[in-house]
A and B are shown apart, each in its own frame.
Chain A
Amino acid sequence: MEDLFRNFWWLMFPMAWFVVEGWNSWLKYQARRDALKLIQAYAEKGQTPPPELLGTLSGVTAADPLLGDLAATGSAAPSTTNWGWYQVALFGGLAGGFVFLARSNILGDEGLGDAMMVAAVVLGALALASLVYAITWKRPRG
């Protein structure tokens, strides 16, 4: 069992990421639900909810479970910054780093080298997808 942990300890990081994203999504859902409950209370009393409350409803968005906050701007207005290039640099840099670690065998474990190549391929695909996003991105009007 200890041997298994030594070989696969790094799996904790991607798995923790999935758990954190799920938790994040749940919290955002709760915030949206609470705002809706308040609006419903106003509606039942026949009153108009304040525009600030409606504004929070537009701003509260559930996170994308795969891309997280990189995909969700967290605000109602579309972002005027092309974050695609940032993601290209981030994912591309990480993919390059993982390829270097896998090739140089710097950690001295061949099994780990294979795992790093898998991670590099996944990150490389994300960098490629981000590149397409960055090239096709259009600045919102207004």
Chain B
Amino acid sequence: MVELFRDFWWLMFPLAAVICGAWDQWMKSRTRADEMRVLAAYAAAGKEPPAELLRALRRDPVEG
């Protein structure tokens, strides 16, 4: 097992990058779901969501 680690320790970097990418997508997906819930609340109240809110939601939550 130790020998295997010595030969393939570098694999930790691409694996960590893949895990980070998946985590990032998960965060984005949850953020979008939360944003949709807010818009649904406005729709249920029969009100137009504020333009500022729509502008903020149009931004990519990760890119900023």
Residues of A within 8 A of B (CB): 1, 4, 7-8, 11, 14-15, 18, 21-22, 25-26, 29, 32-33, 36-37, 39-40, 43-44, 46, 48-49, 51, 54-55, 57-58, 61-62, 64-66, 72-76, 118, 122
Q: Interface on chain A toward B: helix, strand, loop, or mixed SS?
A: helix
Quick one: closest A residue to B23, CB to CB? A22
Q: Is the CB of A73 within 8 A of B31?
A: no
Sample (12) of A-B pairs whose CB atoms are under 8 Å apart: A22-B20, A22-B23, A32-B61, A33-B30, A39-B38, A43-B38, A55-B52, A57-B57, A61-B64, A62-B61, A65-B20, A76-B56
Residues of B within 8 A of A (CB): 2, 5-6, 9-10, 12-13, 16-17, 19-21, 23-24, 27-28, 30-31, 34-35, 37-38, 41-42, 44-45, 47, 49-50, 52-53, 55-57, 59, 61-64
Most buried by A among B17, B45, B64: B64
Q: Is the CB of A15 within 8 A of B24?
A: no
> Which residue of B5, B50, B62, B64 contacts A48 across the interface (Cβ within 8 Å)?
B50
